[in-house]
Structure 1
């Protein structure tokens, strides 16, 4: 299969949010429904317009997305139905090559993500009690 990676536009936001919700519901079972709805509302308004978001597509269908700010991988989400098919690894490698990223923050309650980043060569370097929004979701800081 041919995976293509391209920059997202605002027209991609509805699909990005479908991918995000599918991924989050599959891997973030610790998130309250209220917080999920909160993030669902603010991501397309406050995050996406301020980030360069890259999409990974297969047959022109968006399967996942990622974004890097400075050296931090800010987000990498793969649609639940596309997980385990190499999209995450391909997208991560592309982002690393494009940006030279060296850091990622991962929810402590998402062991699958921690395992994925460990496979990519990251090691835990610290921990915060709250996430970037000040919510009570501990974060593991990881670096290459």
Structure 2
């Protein structure tokens, strides 16, 4: 597996990774919210930079977006869940930050993601009743000390 910066040509594949991962893990989303979020994600993918984890064939299998030491997005192709790709991306994040703490927000209803982050050392420090767009999907705010 290779981790590299995203390229504009990755956008369609990254959207497919996002789509498949959300369909596999976000059963709590209404169809209307999923469609609205999908539009936002297409815009986000076209305008932001990501770290991309390529599979053995050189195709994106996962991606992570960051703002400073905050993970904004981390999505892994569900066919690759449990293969260490998410851990590799979060480990990669620590090498690019200087403040000693890595943070992430995760949907409280996404049990698998919550368990993943807690398993790799993140702890809860706060909770929001709504997501960033004001929808009724609570967020857990997690942090992990970055060891170098």
TM-score, normalised by the number of residues in structure 1: 0.92
Tell me the equivalent position of 2:105. Answer: 105
Question: How big is the shift at 1:52?
Answer: 2.1
2:60 aligned partner: 62
| Whole-angstrom CA distance in 2 between matches of 1:16 and 1:56 | 10
1:11-22 aligned within 5 A: 11-22=9-20
Q: Deviations over 1:40-68 (max 9, x none)?
A: 112121x2344321110012111000011
Question: Is the partner of 1:98 in helix, strand or coil?
Answer: coil
Instruction: Supply the distance in 2 between the matched residues of 1:89 and 1:143 (Cα, whole angstroms).
Output: 14
| Higher deviation after alignment, 21-30 or 90-99 | 90-99
Query: What is the DSSP-based 3-state SS (H/G/I as helix, E as strand, rest coil) of the residue aligned with 2:91?
Result: helix
* Corresponding residue of 1:95: 93
2:70 aligned to which of 69, 72, 87:
72
Deviations 1:79-138 (A, max 9, x none): 011111111111111122223551110100011111111111111001101101111100
Counterpart check, 1:37 vs 2:35: yes
Q: Secondary structure of 2:82's match?
A: coil
Q: Secondary structure at the match of 1:99?
A: coil
Contact 1:5 1:57 survives alignment (8 Å): yes
Give the match for residue 9 of structure 1. Answer: 7
Q: Which of 100-109 and 23-32 deviates more?
A: 100-109
Structure 2, unaligned runs of 5 or more: none
CA distance in 2, matches of 1:99, 1:22: 29
Q: Is the 8 A contact 2:14 2:45 kept in 1?
A: no
Runs (4+) of structure 1 moved beyond 3 Å? none
Asked whether the equivalents of residues 68 and 99 of structure 1 are also in contact (C-alpha less than 8 Å), the reply is no
Query: 1 CA distance for matches of 2:7 and 2:14?
Result: 10
Normalised TM-score (structure 2) = 0.90
